Amino acid sequence: MIEEYIYENYSIDFQEEYSTQNDAYYFIFNNNREIYLTKDGKIPCCHEEDLKMDFDFKLYIGTFKNKEVLITNTDCTDNFHTLFELYDLNHEEYQMAARAVLIRDWYKSHQYCGNCGTRTTIDKKDMMLICPDCGQMHYPRIAPAIIVTVDNDGKLLMAKHSYHHKHGYSLIAGFVEPGESIEDAVHREVAEEIGIKIKNLKYVKSQSWPFPNSLMLAFNADYDSGEIQVDGNEILDAKWFKPEEIEIPPSDISISSWLIDNYIKKYQGGK
C-alpha cells in the first residue's frame, strides 16, 4: 500500500472558477470506471483541446505538483486502464486517481436529489451538491470497513470467502454497521464469520480503498476463545496459518497485503 501522505504533492481546492490556460492534469474516467492514460502510461498533463474527447462534466479539485487537477467522465474506451494497472505503473498518480474516482462517482450519481428528485446544484465553496428545493446536502460517500489480523500464538487466522474464492484465503474484513463503533464491528465480524472471540484489539492503520468507496480501518487482535465455525455459505473455510504457510497476495496495493507482510516479518526468524 502507499504510505506517503496524499497532501505531499496535492492541495485541495474546490471552486467553480479555475483557469486552464496552462497544462492541467486530466483524470478522465469512462463509464466502466477505468482511467485514461497516455501512450507512455501516465495521467495526461496538457491542454484540454489536446485530448480530443467530449466530456460529460469537468470538476476542478485543486493542484497536483503545482498544476490544476480536473476530473472528467467520457464514453470513450480507447487507452483506458483499471486503477490496479495504474497502481503498477505509478503509485503517486494512482493515489490521486483513487481520490478522483470517488469524486467522479459522487458527482455522477447525485445529479438529482435522492430526497425529492430535483436537479441538484454544486456548492461554491464546499465539495457538496445541494438540492435547491428541499435543501438536502449530498456529500461524497465513504463506507468504513474493518480488516483484522487475529493471532493465535504465532498462527494467523485466514478465511476463504465464497465471493472471491479464486484469491484463496484472506483476512477477516467487513463493513461497519450503522450504530456500532469500529471496535464493535471487528468483534462482530470475527464472531459472525468464524465463531470465535478475540481480545487485545489494537488499531494500526487506515487506507482509502476505492473499490467501490471504502475506508479500510486495520486492526491487530489476539485469539481469545472458541472453535472455528464457518457457515459454508459466505465463508467456505477458515484456518490458522503458520507464517511460512501464508500465501502472499499477488499485489501489494491493499492494506490487507501490508498487514500480512507485517505479520510474517514479526515472526520471521522466530519460533
Which part of the chain contacts Zn ion (CB under 5 A), choosing from 16-24, 75-83, 116-124, 141-149?
116-124
Considering only residues 16, 47, 134, 202, which one is a binding residue for Zn ion as defined by CB under 5 A?
134
Query: Smallest gap, in angstroms, from Cβ of residue 106 to Zn ion?
Result: 16
Which part of the chain contacts Zn ion (CB under 5 A), choosing from 15-23, 40-48, 125-133, 226-234?
125-133
Which part of the chain contacts Zn ion (CB under 5 A), choosing from 65-73, 76-84, 133-141, 183-191?
133-141
Which part of the chain contacts Zn ion (CB under 5 A), choosing from 20-28, 29-37, 113-121, 185-193?
113-121
Query: Smallest gap, in angstroms, from Cβ of residue 58 to Zn ion?
Result: 24
**Residue 129 makes contact with Zn ion by CB under 5 A:** no
Query: Smallest gap, in angstroms, from Cβ of residue 104 to Zn ion?
Result: 22
Nearest to 148 by CA among 184, 173, 177, 169: 173
Query: Smallest gap, in angstroms, from Cβ of residue 129 to Zn ion?
Result: 10
Q: What is the DSSP string of the chain?
A: ---S-GGGTEEE---S----SS-EEEEEEETTS-EE--TTS---EE-HHHH----S-EEEEEEETTEEEEEEEES--TTEE-HHHHHHH-HHHHHHHHHHHHHHHHHHH-SB-TTT-PBPEE-SSSS-EE-TTT--EEPPP-EEEEEEEEESSS-EEEEEEGGGGGG-EE-EEEEPPTT--HHHHHHHHHHHHH--EEEEEEEEEEEEETTTTEEEEEEEEEEEE------SSSEEEEEEE-GGGPPPPS---SHHHHHHHHHHHHHTT--
Query: Smallest gap, in angstroms, from Cβ of residue 222 to Zn ion?
Result: 48
Whichever of 134 and 143 has its CB closer to Zn ion, that residue is: 134
**Residue 113 makes contact with Zn ion by CB under 5 A:** yes
Give the number of residues in contact with Zn ion, rule: CB under 5 A: 8
First to last CA, the chain: 28
Which part of the chain contacts Zn ion (CB under 5 A), choosing from 4-12, 29-37, 132-140, 144-152?
132-140
Residue 265, C-beta contacts closer than 8 angstroms, at least 6 positions apart? none
Query: Smallest gap, in angstroms, from Cβ of residue 115 to Zn ion?
Result: 4
Whichever of 102 and 113 has its CB closer to Zn ion, that residue is: 113
Contact between 172 and 148 under an 8 Å Cβ cutoff? The reply is yes
**Residue 116 makes contact with Zn ion by CB under 5 A:** yes
Query: Smallest gap, in angstroms, from Cβ of residue 112 to Zn ion?
Result: 8
Residues 249-268 that bind Zn ion (CB under 5 A): none
C-alpha cell at 137: 446536502
Considering only residues 24, 100, 131, 238, which one is a binding residue for Zn ion as defined by CB under 5 A?
131
Q: Which residues bind Zn ion (CB under 5 A)?
A: 113, 115-116, 118, 131, 133-134, 136
